Structure formats: C-alpha cells, structure tokens
Structure 1
C-alpha cells in the first residue's frame, strides 16, 4: 500500500478525498503527524496527540463492501484490533464497540470514520482511523485510554501494519462474504447480550444489545420485548 506521510494537514479524510478525485490509485494511505481539523462521526472533533496515529485509507469499493456498506466500519475495527495485537497489545483487553470504536478495558483507544466516494468511473471507501497509541485525550464523552502502557509503535510503522490488516479483512470479505465479517466482529463485541442505552437523537433508547443484522445495524431488544433496529448511534453502559 502506498503511504503518504504528512507533517500537518486539516483532515486526512479530506486529503484522501482530494486524491481520489485527482485519480489516485488504490490502495492509498495518507497519514499526518498533526491534524488541525480532525473529525469523527457526526462531525465531532478528533483530538490527535503527539505520538498517536491518524490516517485515512482509500480502498476500492469491492462487491462485498458495496453489498453491505454497514460492514465497512466493523471490518475496520477488526483490522485495528489485529494491528494492535500484532504490535503486542493484549488481545484480552481489546473489544469492539458498535458501530465504530475499539476499546481497551472499556476505554476508547480508536475511532473510525468511513464514507463512500464516487466519480463517473470509480467508487471507493475512505476509512479514516485515529488510534491513541501513546496518549489519550482528557475529558472525553466516553472514557479514553492509550492502547499501549509502554513501548508503543511509532505512528508510521503502525500505519503500515494497519494497512496490511485492513487489506486482509477486505480480501476475506470478498472471498467469504460479509457474514464472515459480522461473525468475527460479534466474537469481540463490547457488551453484546447486555443492557445498553443508545442515543440516536433525543433521549437514549434503553434495551439489551441482542445482535447486529445483515447490514451491521444494532438489534436492540426493548423492555417491552419489541426489537428496535438502529443504524447509527452512541452506545453507553446502562
């Protein structure tokens, strides 16, 4: 995977989007030592501290990903987890929080922002990933932590490893289908089968996180026994 490393930029997702429309070949990673306008889901700011990883991947929109676009963030979470484990993070501590976070001991160490882009001839996914390798921001809405207590990998080498694990999961999705991705994600899911409060808009919806459906959406069982399908939201312990 070609890796373009920047000293600073506004947003690596914006840099990758620009590269796509300029005809950049797949796959591509653009990472930066510093982002001045990094963002997460719903336009929330992403704080990037020194020594952490922030980068965006441009990958081809394969048949499996196009058929199940909800799988992209879940697949990326699996890739981040594998990359952390390959760099000696404790696999027992790492879980995947629906829909797009990676946790260490129930504290956020990584966030993912995936979006599709297309022009007259091509379709692709931009997958922006931020990982707290060395330091965690303070006073966050969901508790945050550093992925490594000591000897974290440098951001550039971590980006290379993450590119490898991401492409491997994309190949698996194409070879074995999106259901394989969903099954793998479930095996590491945070609070699956447990009570959660999920905020979509307005008051949180409370229920049991029963499963994800064939599009990667949360299936929440309400106290009435009714099932609510949630496409996007913020999950928290109840």
Structure 2
C-alpha cells in the first residue's frame, strides 16, 4: 500500500503499463483521458477486428458508462479504475461457460485489492464486490461478435480514491476509505490485470470447466475459489426480478452454471440466474 498523499489522484502511468503489456502479452492497450463507456468503445473495436484477445481499454473519466439493467456509471476524474478487457477464448471454451468471466474478473479484483490495498474484499452475487458491507466495485460483462465466434468484454469500475461525498449511494465505499490510506492506482490496475490474465489462461487450459482444478492455483477449481469468496452464501436474500416480482430465501450454493441456489423456509430450492440481490438485515441490524 502506498500511503503518500501525492499519488492519490495521480494519473495512471502509461510507461509502467507498457512494460506490463509485454510481460502479459496483452493485445491493444488504450488509455483515454475521457470516455463515454469503456465497454461500448472496446466492443466496437472488437467487432471491427481492431482489438484482439486481452485488449485493454481504460479511462480516467467515464461519462456515459452503464451498469446492470442500464443504470448509469459515471466516475469522477482520477478517482477510480474504470477498465474493460476483451477476452476471446476460442472454440475450446463453450458459449455457456462464457458467463463465468464475470466471476473471473471478480476473483481477480478481490485478490488484487487485498494484495495492494490490504482490504478484505468479497463477492456479492451476481456482479459486485464488497469491502465489509459496502459496494466497492461493479462488473458488467457483455458478449461481442468477433471474426471467429464470440468474445467477452469485461467492464469493471473499482472505487479507489473517492471521498464519502463523491460516492453515488450510502451503501458504497472506496479503497481509500476502507483502508485509511492512499492507493497507487497504477499498481492496483497492474495487479488486477496480472490476476485476470493468470485466471483466464488457466480457465482456457481446462476448457472452461469450473470444477476441474485450475493450473497454478493450488489444486482449486474456479467454482471452489469463487464460492469461498462469495459473501452472498449463507445470507437471507431478497431477489428482485425484472418483471417486478420478488422472492426471499437463503442463498445456499453456487450452481455449476453460475446460478445462485436459494432455499426457502420449507426447504424448497430454486435456481436464480438473474436478478437484483439484496442481503436482508435482521431486526437487530445485523445481516442474516
């Protein structure tokens, strides 16, 4: 962790990322001062054949980003890490397995944040990261057509240096607030890319199987690693669906397809593939 105040709002250092590009064999790397949406712009490059596997698109100031369900995602200048990465896994990984790239990114960010900022980070299903009980990162992955099939653009927005008043909702936080120290954003971004590339390459080596141990990860499968980080498991949750309906049950397991498996009071189980998940608080103010 870098506790020097003069690096808190420092721009991402392109020279350090150039060295990383060679080391990790990244594709096209674009660092933009201002962007509408990193996902949209990288997806356009991918569809046009101008961006290949492991291309990276970063902006210091995202002005028209989108989260899940079309929600806006705007970042104050120099306060966050807003980055999209294109992965093109090829025919060896089935289309059904591509949905796991959201969790691969979540796992990569959790490992990077814990190493650089010394902040324990957990995953909130389906696409958020938490520091304690507060949201610190959102993830949006989208399928894009490429020359030989499909790729996935994984967009992430990590709150790094925001003050409390700069955060969009009271349930959010930043790494600086969670750690009480300034964070080297270039170092944090580099660590995320290293972890993402390691996980992605191992995932392709096992042909997208989530139950086969990933090479280089101490015999653990992707399913095991994600489940161990999934704060949602064991919680009483309320799930809100796009059609307006809701259910309340306990999250008990992560399915093979990435679904959240819920169990109600009667012991009946149900798989949820999509929806807004809220951890329910008990009457004493603690989470269930």
- In structure 1, the partner of 2:225 is 184
- In structure 2, the partner of 1:113 is 140
SS at match of 1:144: coil
Aligned-partner Cα distance in 2 for 1:178–1:163: 21
- Once the 2 structures are TM-superposed, how far is the Cα of residue 194 of structure 1 from its aligned partner? 2.3
Aligned-partner Cα distance in 2 for 1:101–1:127: 13
Aligned-partner Cα distance in 2 for 1:74–1:82: 12
Indicate the structure whose relative CO is greater, using CA pairs within 8 Å and at least 6 residues apart: 1
Residues 98-177 of structure 1 mapped to structure 2, 5 A cutoff: 98-135=125-162, 137-140=166-169, 143-148=171-176, 149-154=180-185, 156-176=186-206, 177=209
Aligned-partner Cα distance in 1 for 2:190–2:199: 15
TM-score normalised by length of structure 2: 0.76
SS at match of 2:191: helix
Aligned-partner Cα distance in 2 for 1:13–1:185: 24
* Correspondence 1:58 to 2:89: no
Name the Cα RMSD after superposition.
Answer: 1.8
Aligned-partner Cα distance in 1 for 2:88–2:146: 13
- In structure 1, the partner of 2:266 is 224
* Correspondence 1:30 to 2:66: no
Give the ranges of 4+ consecutive aligned residues of structure 1 lying more than 4 Å apart after TM superposition: none
Distance 1:186 1:65, change over 3 A: farther
Gaps of 5+ in 1: none
Distance 1:110 1:234, change over 3 A: same
TM-score normalised by length of structure 1: 0.91
2:41 paired residue among 3, 7, 15: 15
Gaps of 5+ in 2: 1-25, 212-220, 281-288
How many residues align structurally?
Answer: 234
Aligned-partner Cα distance in 2 for 1:145–1:22: 37
Residues 74-93 of structure 1 mapped to structure 2, 5 A cutoff: 74-90=103-119, 93=120
Tell me, yes or no, if the aligned pair for 2:83 and 2:155 is still in contact at 8 Å.
yes
Tell me, yes or no, if the aligned pair for 2:144 and 2:151 is still in contact at 8 Å.
yes
Tell me, yes or no, if the aligned pair for 1:71 and 1:182 is still in contact at 8 Å.
no
Tell me, yes or no, if the aligned pair for 2:116 and 2:187 is still in contact at 8 Å.
no
